């Protein structure tokens, strides 16, 4: 039994069986490289599913973590902490929101968004509006409320009933259907600007503009889930900035502290009035260590102009992938994405080629069985993307 097989056996005895894992273990990471227990090197095109946006295990972040770990890690939200305020100020400077609630994950950020929307409607607007309309195919998390908000069926929902009331799902892109679903019970419309788990699907500009108009007309809220698409991933700080809209609430997590668990819900001053002391809380949210790291991550993103880099590299990747599409008719249905949030939809079951790419040393994701999903670090070398594209091209040639 090699080291990998021994680890797989041991996990069976100790870890809940919730994940279909890749046949890969990871023991070390640096930049856009991963290594396994046997010393095999991989090019990481997934970065922990859009988490290590500034690259794995950077010396500047490691030094900062060590320093802060000796000063203050966390004391709870019963205390004022300058690290938390500094991080909030930096985050707010990237967007049109006015207030932040820090938490620990994407699901928790979305849970906070749903709670705030309902509470704002009840306590500030004095309306019994609680329903949240989300989009079919969306993914918003795994807590009871956020899995209910998720516009998908299957194992994510099976066996968990009764699910919370007050969620409904509209077909993405259909403004008439959405308009017909809004009622006096509607508190908010909640969207991913680019559906991630749903297969890298950016929403059309006119649809998002129409949604922004609709929420104004109906005096309801627009919540944007930027857990995967935020933090320079799509070529701007936030994907919604491509569309010229200011959501009432939006959420972030994943890359916020580049791998330390951190989430945030951001809201306008008006909507943030819906929360008052005691109405929402979390023990770890915005602790000094994660906040310090997050502030530095935001600085790195600014200093290294990572939004521009994501836009430029993403355009390059899509252009090159389209050439491969033309070269191998029928293999690729579409290449899509925004910045370095990239999807290549295959015209056939993708499991075999996905395994082959992994065997060749590339870590990425396969979603919906046929969409190769890439979320590389925004610091990735162009040469690594070229190397992936050449390997994909060769894999198609071998298939022909
Ligand atoms: C768009 C979106 N929302 C929410 C989540 C849930 O985030 P977390 O796994 O941190 O709870 C994810 C995770 O993949 C996501 O992609």
Domains (ranges, CATH) in the chain?
A: 3-54+305-399 (3.90.1150.10), 59-303 (3.40.640.10)
Pocket test for ligand 1, best of 50, 135, 140, 375 (most atoms within 8 A of CB): 140
Helix (H, G, I), strand (E, B) or coil at 168: strand
Q: Is 252 left (phi over 0), alpha (psi -120 to 50) or beta?
A: beta
Ligand 1 within 6 A of CB of 250: no
Cα 137 to ligand 1 centroid, rounded to whole Å? 13
What is the distance between the alpha carbons of residues 109 and 266, in angstroms, rounded to a whole number? Answer: 9
pLDDT tens digit sequence for 86-141: 999 999 999 999 999 999 999 999 999 999 999 999 999 999 999 999 999 999 99
What is the distance between the alpha carbons of residues 314 and 234, in angstroms, rounded to a whole number? Answer: 8
- If pLDDT is split at 50, 70 and 90, which confidence band does 1 have? confident
Question: Which ranges of the chain does DSSP label H, i.e. alpha helix?
Answer: 3-12, 47-50, 59-71, 82-92, 106-119, 144-149, 175-181, 205-218, 269-272, 288-303, 306-327, 351-359, 382-399
Cα 136 to ligand 1 centroid, rounded to whole Å? 16
What is the distance between the alpha carbons of residues 48 and 53, in angstroms, rounded to a whole number? Answer: 9
Ligand 1 within 6 A of CB of 110: yes
The predicted model gives 287-316 an average pLDDT of 98
Instruction: Write out the binding residues for pyridoxal 5'-phosphate.
Output: 106-107, 139, 225-228, 283
Atom of ligand 1 nearest to the CA of 263: 10
What is the distance between the alpha carbons of residues 209 and 343, in angstroms, rounded to a whole number? Answer: 24
Q: Express as a percent the part of the chain with pLDDT over 70.
A: 100
Ligand 1 within 6 A of CB of 81: no
What is the distance between the alpha carbons of residues 331 and 370, in angstroms, rounded to a whole number? Answer: 11
pLDDT at 42: 98
pLDDT at 198 over 90: no
Q: Scanning the structure block, which residue is given the tokens 């990871």?
A: 26
Q: CA geometry: angle at 395 spanning 229 and 24, to 5°?
A: 60
The predicted model gives 201-209 an average pLDDT of 96
pLDDT tens digit sequence for 227-266: 999 999 999 999 999 999 999 999 999 999 999 999 999 9
CA proximity to 193, closest of 251, 270, 118: 251
Q: Scanning the structure block, which residue is given the tokens 């007050």?
A: 166
pLDDT at 208 over 90: yes
Q: What is the DSSP letter of 260?
A: B
Residue pair 53/255 in contact (Cβ under 8 Å)? The answer is yes
pLDDT tens digit sequence for 61-81: 999 999 999 999 999 999 999
Output the residue whose Cα is nearest ligand 1's atom 8: 106
Ligand 1 within 6 A of CB of 151: no
The predicted model gives 369-383 an average pLDDT of 97
Cα 142 to ligand 1 centroid, rounded to whole Å? 8
Helix, strand and coil percent figures for the chain, each rounded to 5: 40, 20, 40
Residue 173 CB coordination number (10 Å): 16
pLDDT at 197: 86
pLDDT at 400 over 90: no
Atom of ligand 1 nearest to the CA of 195: 1
pLDDT tens digit sequence for 138-148: 999 999 999 99
Cα 139 to ligand 1 centroid, rounded to whole Å? 7
Q: Express as a percent the part of the chain with pLDDT over 90.
A: 98
């Amino acid at each position: 039994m090699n080291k990998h097989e021994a680890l797989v056996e041991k996990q069976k005895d100790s870890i809940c069986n919730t994940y279909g894992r890749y046949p890969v273990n990871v023991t070390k990471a640096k930049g856009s490289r991963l290594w396994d227990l046997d010393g095999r090197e991989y090019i990481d095109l997934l970065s922990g599913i859009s988490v290590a946006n500034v690259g794995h295990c950077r010396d500047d972040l490691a030094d900062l973590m060590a320093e802060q770990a000796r000063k203050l890690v966390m004391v709870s939200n019963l205390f004022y902490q300058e690290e938390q305020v500094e991080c909030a100020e930096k985050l707010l400077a990237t967007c049109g929101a006015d207030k932040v609630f820090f938490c620990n994950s994407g699901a928790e950020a979305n849970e906070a968004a749903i709670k705030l929307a309902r509470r704002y409607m009840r306590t500030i607007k004095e309306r019994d509006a609680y329903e949240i309309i989300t989009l079919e195919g969306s993914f918003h998390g795994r807590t009871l409320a956020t899995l209910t908000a998720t516009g998908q069926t299957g194992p994510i929902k099976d066996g968990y009933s009764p699910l919370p009331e007050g969620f409904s799902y509209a077909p993405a892109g259909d403004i008439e259907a959405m308009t017909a679903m809004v009622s006096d019970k509607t508190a908010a419309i909640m969207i991913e600007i680019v559906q991630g788990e749903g297969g890298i699907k950016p929403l059309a500009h006119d649809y998002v503009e129409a949604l922004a108009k609709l929420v104004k007309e109906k005096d309801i809220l627009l919540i944007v889930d930027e857990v995967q698409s935020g933090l320079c991933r799509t070529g701007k700080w936030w994907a919604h900035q491509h569309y010229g809209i200011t959501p009432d609430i939006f959420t972030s997590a994943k890359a916020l502290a580049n791998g330390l668990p951190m989430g945030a819900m951001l809201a306008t001053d008006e909507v943030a009035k819906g929360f008052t002391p005691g109405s929402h809380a979390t023990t770890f949210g915005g602790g000094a260590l994660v906040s310090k790291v997050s502030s530095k991550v935001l600085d790195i993103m600014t200093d290294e102009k990572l939004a521009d880099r994501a836009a430029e590299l993403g355009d390059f990747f899509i252009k090159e992938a389209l050439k491969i599409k033309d070269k191998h008719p029928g293999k690729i249905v579409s290449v899509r994405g925004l910045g370095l949030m990239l999807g290549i939809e295959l015209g056939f079951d993708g499991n075999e080629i996905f395994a082959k790419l992994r065997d060749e040393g590339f870590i990425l994701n396969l979603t919906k069985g046929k969409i190769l999903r890439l979320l590389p670090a925004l610091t990735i070398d162009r040469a690594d993307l070229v190397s992936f594209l050449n390997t994909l091209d060769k894999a198609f040639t071998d298939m022909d």
